[in-house]
Structure 1
Amino acid sequence: MELVFPCEGNVAMEIMFGDEYGNLVVVATVSTATILAFSWILRRHPIVINAVFAVVISIAIFAFSNLVNRSIFGTLELLFQMVIGSNNSWNRVYMVAFWLAMVAISVIFCVYVTSIGRSSTVHRKFFHLTVSLIYISGILFDPLFSWLCAWLWLCIFILTELLRYLNVPPWGAVLNEHLLIFKDVQDSELLLTPIYLLVGIFLPLMLSQNVADLDFQPKLAHFAGVAAVGVGDSMAAIVGSTWGKTKWTGSEKSLEGTLAMMFSMLTFLLITNTFILDPSSVVSIISVSLIASLIEAYLTAMDNFILPFITYLIL
């Protein structure tokens, strides 16, 4: 079975916005790097970092306005149009509404876990599910807009962690209260796991060279992050922590968890492959499921990034 997913949203975006998406990503990433640099220099005076944010964001808006040759108010209007999308398609409206629902559920879940004062492996893997659902809906119905959002979300995640790590008032205390409880054993003082999760899931789309093509159709490799982290790693952690008895030599990971990852990845990829216009070979699917599962068994850090990257390369 082959499905050709809707691309009329892409057509409208190409006609309406041209290179604005790329310009916005460049401005956002440069601004994020600038804020990081100045915030680190001023880390002993965290209250001043608020001014750094205000100044750099103001300059970023001005720079983007010049790039798109619009006034400040015209730029704000353009940004709003980027969000609401084409007037001829409801795909964007439904998709953004779904994303907002996923974010709302995640926030409510975060507040709940904070209230009970502890987080388990199952709790932490909940976010793998919501991020995966956001990614799948995005790449199927509006890949170009999802590409843009992936880069912007990455900038937001990095800046949020900056505010938390440097304890910038008034944000630092609130962020530490709600985020530290989700600290993974792989994290140091920096909570990088959420950033690795975002990059790992969205990496195939972020690396795509043809995402702006009007006839863009996702390949199985575009689901590498969902397969490796959203499905495989999550099942490995849940099954391993609940029923894992047989430990791998030199590792805290269990054979049961590894088998759960391998078979869940294999099942997800085989099912997804039946809906792909240009399917991958069954041999590559079996191989990547086995290789990624064995690597996960001995990974002690950055698995949310390394596993999707390896899966993407093989597929």
Structure 2
Amino acid sequence: MVAIIPNASFTTANLVQKAKRSETSFDDLAHKTNMRARKVNQSKNARDFECFFPNFVQLVILLGTFYCGIKRLQPIDVTDTSYKQIFLNAFVVGLIMIGVIVIKYLRHGYRSLPKFDTVYSFYLPFMTSLLFDTPSTVTNTILILSVLNSYKWSTQLIVMVSQFSLIFFNFEAGDRVENIISVIINILLSSILKNVGQLKSLDNIDSNLFSILLTNILYISEATSAHFRILRGTILALVAIISINYMLKKIMHVKPFVLSILLFVGLPVFTNIFIHLESGRNPLFWLVEYILESTTRQKILFAWFSILILSIPSILIEKESLSLNTSRKLWHFIIFSLIVPSFQIDSNFVKIALSGTIPIFLSIEYIRFQNLPPLGSAIESQLRKFADTRDHSGPLIISYLYLLFGISGPLLINNSPMGLIGLGIGDSLASIIGKRYGRIRWRGTQKTMEGTLAFITTSFIVCLILLHFDKAIIFNHLTALRLLCVCTLSGVLEGNSVLNDNILIPTFMMICEKLFTL
């Protein structure tokens, strides 16, 4: 027994030590688990902050310019009912959008929240119509609500009831029918764009922005300039022929080559029908006479064709030795060199040319999308060489269309070269320099501060050059300091946003330019 006791004592001591070690190891494990959980929370908080930071920067810039617009546009007579009506409707529409989003969040949680870019679906149409077509601002503000139609049918019903209610309270009996038609046209166009783009080439926000733009061009705007008549007539003609082709293909199963013939024959015929010039003349004959009556216009055309004939084959040949980003930005530089000098010489001719070019490029995309013979496959193979990830994600190749819309919009709306400067110079060099030399990234984005600095510097230098050598009185109303403010705000916004630059930058720069002239 005596011999057994020490062994028992030793065994008991071992058990105690093991218990202590197990207790210590359990404490270590719990400590390590807590540390891992803390690191995960810290990492999640860091990611949340990185997502919050660019949105906060964008919101500050947008709210600042929005407030600037309110203060600068406020009339001396504060009882002006039109002014109050515009901003009261903007407030109501904003509340409806926020209310729908909050309800969706309470029902379905964080994942149901829309992208931050939904803010632009309100900001861009409202500010553009307010600054450049004030009488249509109330109507366009009501159309903004259509961006919420991406939700279920119950939400869509609420949106439509809200839109019709706002029309009832804002317009007299004679104007209500016209505004209801505007809402219906906008909803129809938005639905078509969503279906065609499959919410990949064009997402919900893109579709809504373009549907509002098209609704203004086709129905709302009362502009009477020659270039607007040409733009409206040619787009109406293209819509008509595409609609006819669609019905023939679906109902009668017409072959592609017949659709091609109908397009090439029908488009000029419908264009002649829908373009109404003040002189009442045939649009084609009028255009030929318009060009022939001025040697300057003939020289501009000759210069355009010469540059394109030399540059297009060169870029296609050297495409393999260039990066995708560089080859795409070369088109920006070419368009800048084509339009800026010509716009200073004969701005009306350039605007007419752009108004006719937009439907032509839309027709090219239609031919490619439908693969219509004999050009469909050739256009597809060439455009795919310059397509980016978004172009590959959906059925449409839209980058070149975005570029055309971006440079044309400010020129056609406000005689402003801001789209050319922002896209042709600022955005192009920001992308090239940022990708090659960028090291410091904006929080939550893939864009670099070096790229933003390149955007601000180069676009400002070009603005100063145009300000100094300008013959068409561009920027005559802006000082160098104000131009620097426009370029800086636009550069910082571009560096923190994910909305397509070809939409955002030209429109925002045009808005800022107008705000600084009020």
1:244 to 438, 444, 457: 438
- Structure 2 residue 344 is the aligned partner of structure 1 residue 140: yes
Q: Which residue of 1 aligns with 2:183?
A: none
Residue number in structure 1 paired with 2:260: 50
* Larger displacement relative to structure 2 (131-140 or 298-307): 298-307
Structure 1 equivalent of residue 290 of structure 2: 82
Structure 1 residues 243 and 27 mapped into 2: Cα distance closer, same or farther (>3 Å)? Answer: same
Tell me the equivalent position of 2:269.
Answer: 59
Deviations 1:8-44 (A, max 9, x none): xxxxxxxxxx976554433212112223334455387
Among 99, 102, 124, the residue aligned to 2:304: 99
Query: CA offsets, 1:92-133, max 9 Å, x none?
Result: 12211111122213421343145x387521111111011112
> What CA distance in whole angstroms lies between the structure 2 residues aligned with 1:178 and 1:234?
21
Identical aligned residues as a percent: 23
Change (3 A) 1:118 1:161: farther
2:364 is aligned with 1:166: no
Deviation at 1:55, TM superposition (A): 4.3
Q: CA-to-partner distance for each residue in 1:203-238, whole Å, 9 max, x for gaps?
A: 222114xxxxxxxxx6xxx12112211110011111
Name the SS of the counterpart of 2:478 in structure 1: coil
8 Å contact kept, 2:430–2:453: yes
1:304 maps to 502
Secondary structure in structure 1 of the residue aligned to 2:439: coil
Contact 2:237 2:274 in 1 (8 A): no
SS in 2 for 1:182: coil
1:172 Cα deviation after fit: 1.2
Considering only CA atoms, is the larger Rg found in Structure 1 or Structure 2?
2
Q: Does residue 1:30 correspond to 2:236, yes or no? A: yes
TM-score by length of 2: 0.49
Aligned to 1:191: 397
State the one-letter code of the partner of 1:271.
I
Q: How much has 1:76 moved relative to structure 2?
A: 4.7
Question: How many equivalent residue pairs?
Answer: 279
What CA distance in whole angstroms lies between the structure 2 residues aligned with 1:66 and 1:36? Answer: 21
- Distance in 2 separating the partners of 1:182 and 1:247: 26
The aligned amino acid for 1:256 is E
How far 1:189 moved relative to its partner? 2.9
Contact 2:426-2:456 within 8 A present in 1 as well: yes
Q: What TM-score results when the alignment is normalised by the length of structure 1?
A: 0.78
Structure-2 change in CA distance of 1:179 and 1:274 (3 Å) = same
Name the SS of the counterpart of 1:242 in structure 2: helix
Kept in 1, the 8 Å contact 2:437–2:450? The answer is yes
Q: What amino acid does structure 2 have at the position aligned with 1:140?
A: Q
**Contact kept in structure 2, 1:236 and 1:258, CA below 8 Å:** yes
Residues 247, 37 of structure 1: alpha-carbon distance in 2 compared, 3 angstrom cutoff: farther
Q: Give 2:443's aligned amino acid.
A: T
Map of 1:116-155 to 2, 5 A cutoff?
116=320, 119-155=323-359
User: What's 1:258 paired with?
Assistant: 452
Q: Note the residue ranges of structure 2 that are not aligned, 5 or more in a row.
A: 1-223, 514-518
Contact in 1 for aligned 2:438/2:449 (Cα 8 Å):
yes
